[in-house]
Each structure stands twice: as structure tokens, then as C-alpha cells.
């Protein structure tokens, strides 16, 4: 008889306890730019109980009608390998590159990553002045302002965006809109 401690409810499958460390990886997936492709990729993740922490997609090669999907996910190395192999089997997928693994193979900490966020902060007096001061320190741009609020634009690594959001919370954070991570490996080679 199984007890509740041996069950993994975060997944579609019951898996034996695994002590492998969880890792966050960025995957680049080159696909045909056609209806339903994104749904198939997302369906593979959800159907197997894998979480997507960030997702961006856009057409990158117009003449060839190809789009690039960048997925950030967190799992054990074994599960990450399964995810990559399962993505490769989806018919309109041309190529899957684990950008995190490729960066390590090149002796780097990780791929170049950037994220854009729009952050609305409403405040008065000292909070307003502090929000502006901190935005300058983080190189965030004011893209809209009234006497009641600011909308900041910040670009950088996800950790920088997270940090900026956390310091804006006590100053009157109202709303956040994030693009998700775009990532690319260093060096002259393409994906």
C-alpha cells in the first residue's frame, strides 16, 4: 500500500522519490510558424505535468516561416532530458537546443537572457521620490507618468526584474506585465 508521502501530485505520473537536484533550464525550440504548433508544445508540457516558468514565442525567420519558442522550465536533469526528447518528436519542431547545457559546454555560467517588464507604481510624497530614485538605480525608464502614478520599463535578467518588483511593492506597486525570457548563447554559432 502506498502512503501519501510516496505520491507526487505535481505530475501526471506517480514517480518514485528522486533526490536529484532541481535545475532551471532555458530551451530554444525552432518550429513552423503555423496554427496549432504552440498548442502542441504547451500540451506536451501540461500533459506530462511539467511546469513552464516562462514562455516567449515570435516569428524569427520570415522567409522560411519559422518561429522560435523560448521555454524556461525547472526539473531534475533526467526530466529535462525527457522534455528535450519529447519536444524533438513533435512533428513541426525543427530543432531543440538546451541553451543552459550549451552555455555550460562552452564554459559559461548560462546563456544571455533578457526580459522586459512594465511596472505601474502609484504613490505620493516620499514614496514617489523613492520610486524614482530606485528606478534610476536600476536603469528603469519612466514611460508614462501622472501626478498619481508612474509606469516604468525595465529590461534585464529575470533576477533583476524580480528584485525591482520586490522593492516597488511597499512603494505602491499596482500592476506588472512581463514579456518572459528571451535567451541566446554567446559565440558565433546559431542554435
Contact 119, 165 (CB under 8 A): yes
Structure confidence at residue 12 as a pLDDT band (50, 70, 90): low
Contact 20, 26 (CB under 8 A): no
- pLDDT (0 to 100) of residue 190: 87
- pLDDT (0 to 100) of residue 6: 46
Three-state SS at 171: helix
Residue-wise pLDDT for 36-55, tens only, equals 999 999 999 999 899 999 99
Whose grid coordinates read 508544445?
A: 41
Q: What are the cell numbers at 106?
A: 562552452
Structure confidence at residue 62 as a pLDDT band (50, 70, 90): confident
Q: Give 140's DSSP letter.
A: P
- pLDDT (0 to 100) of residue 18: 60
Contact 148, 122 (CB under 8 A): yes
Q: φ, ψ for residue 128 (rounded to 5)?
A: -65, -45
Residue-wise pLDDT for 74-96, tens only, equals 999 999 999 999 999 998 999 99
Q: What are the cell numbers at 177?
A: 506585465
Residue-wise pLDDT for 93-144, tens only, equals 999 999 999 999 999 999 999 999 999 999 899 999 999 999 999 999 999 9
All domains in the chain, ordered by first residue: 23-106 (3.30.70.260), 112-184 (3.30.70.1150)
Amino acid at each position: 500500500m502506498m502512503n501519501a508521502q510516496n505520491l507526487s501530485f505535481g505530475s501526471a505520473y506517480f514517480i518514485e522519490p528522486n533526490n536529484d537536484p532541481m535545475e532551471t533550464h532555458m530551451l530554444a525550440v525552432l518550429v513552423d510558424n503555423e496554427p496549432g504548433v504552440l498548442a502542441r508544445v504547451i500540451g506536451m508540457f501540461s500533459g506530462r505535468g511539467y511546469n513552464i516558468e516562462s514562455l516567449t514565442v515570435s516569428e524569427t525567420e520570415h522567409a522560411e516561416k519559422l518561429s522560435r519558442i523560448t521555454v524556461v522550465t525547472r526539473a531534475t536533469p533526467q526530466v529535462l532530458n525527457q522534455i528535450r526528447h519529447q519536444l524533438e518528436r513533435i512533428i513541426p519542431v525543427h530543432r531543440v537546443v538546451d541553451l543552459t547545457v550549451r552555455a555550460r559546454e562552452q564554459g559559461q555560467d548560462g546563456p544571455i537572457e533578457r526580459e522586459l517588464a512594465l511596472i505601474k507604481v502609484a504613490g505620493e510624497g516620499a514614496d514617489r521620490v523613492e520610486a524614482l530614485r530606485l528606478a534610476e538605480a536600476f536603469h528603469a525608464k519612466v514611460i508614462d507618468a501622472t501626478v498619481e502614478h508612474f509606469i516604468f520599463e525595465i529590461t534585464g535578467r529575470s533576477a533583476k526584474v524580480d528584485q525591482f518588483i520586490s522593492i516597488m511593492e511597499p512603494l505602491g506597486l499596482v500592476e506588472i506585465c512581463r514579456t518572459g525570457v528571451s535567451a541566446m548563447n554567446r559565440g558565433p554559432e546559431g542554435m
